[in-house]
């Protein structure tokens, strides 16, 4: 096995090419070189440290398998960060799918009961159409920029904006109607 000084001197592209050619040690060097920065990056883009660890692990598996297909139009580091970014988005997308509520499962709002505001908003949100709800949750509740929400939902940014506007209007009307009985 090469010394760590020699490993450090090897360029990322050389390590990736060596891994693709069957060098059993090259990927380990690349993995150790980028594990910490990729993990820091993932932690800024995931909801939990566990999700960040999962994103990095899935990304490195993808790199391990995809090394022979790497095209050097980008640097290896850019490629690695892009893959981790996509894995973080995939995890957020899975979280978003869990947020969707079947309107048939939403309880009827009884305005005569003292319902905490957060619960009331949650119930009303369940009555907003799914496409509008997804946009509102991403932009207004999770704080995603419109462009990121568009990427997550795989729709144009203007569609996100219009769905947010319609969803907010529907949510506002539902909350006003619920508040009218108090």
Tokens 């990121």 label which residue?
A: 148
Evaluate if residue 109 carries a pLDDT over 60.
Answer: no
Domain 99-181, what fold? Arc Repressor Mutant, subunit A (1.10.10)
The residue with greater pLDDT, 92 or 61, is 61
| Domain edges within the chain | 1-97, 99-181
1-97 CATH, one of 3.40.50.1360, 3.30.10.20, 1.10.1740.10, 3.30.565.10? 1.10.1740.10
Chain segment 112-166, per-residue pLDDT in tens: 444 466 667 777 887 888 888 888 888 887 778 898 888 887 889 999 999 999 9
* H helix intervals, the chain: 4-9, 12-20, 26-45, 49-66, 76-99, 117-125, 130-136, 146-153, 157-180
């Amino acid at each position: 096995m090469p010394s760590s000084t020699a490993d450090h001197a090897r360029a990322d592209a050389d390590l990736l090419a060596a891994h693709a050619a069957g060098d059993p040690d090259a990927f380990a060097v690349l993995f150790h070189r980028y594990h910490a920065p990729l993990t820091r990056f993932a932690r800024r883009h995931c909801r939990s440290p566990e999700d960040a660890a999962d994103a990095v692990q899935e990304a490195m598996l993808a790199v391990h398998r995809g090394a022979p297909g790497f095209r050097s139009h980008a640097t290896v580091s850019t490629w690695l960060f892009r893959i981790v970014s996509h894995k973080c988005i995939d995890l957020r997308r899975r979280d978003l799918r869990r947020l969707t509520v079947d309107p048939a499962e939403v309880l009827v709002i009884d305005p005569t009961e003292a319902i905490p505001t957060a619960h009331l908003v949650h119930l009303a949100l369940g009555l907003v159409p799914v496409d509008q709800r997804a946009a509102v949750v991403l932009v207004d509740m999770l704080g995603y920029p419109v462009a990121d929400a568009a990427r997550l939902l795989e729709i144009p940014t203007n569609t996100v904006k219009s769905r947010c506007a319609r969803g907010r209007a529907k949510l506002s009307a539902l909350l006003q109607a619920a508040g009218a009985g108090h």
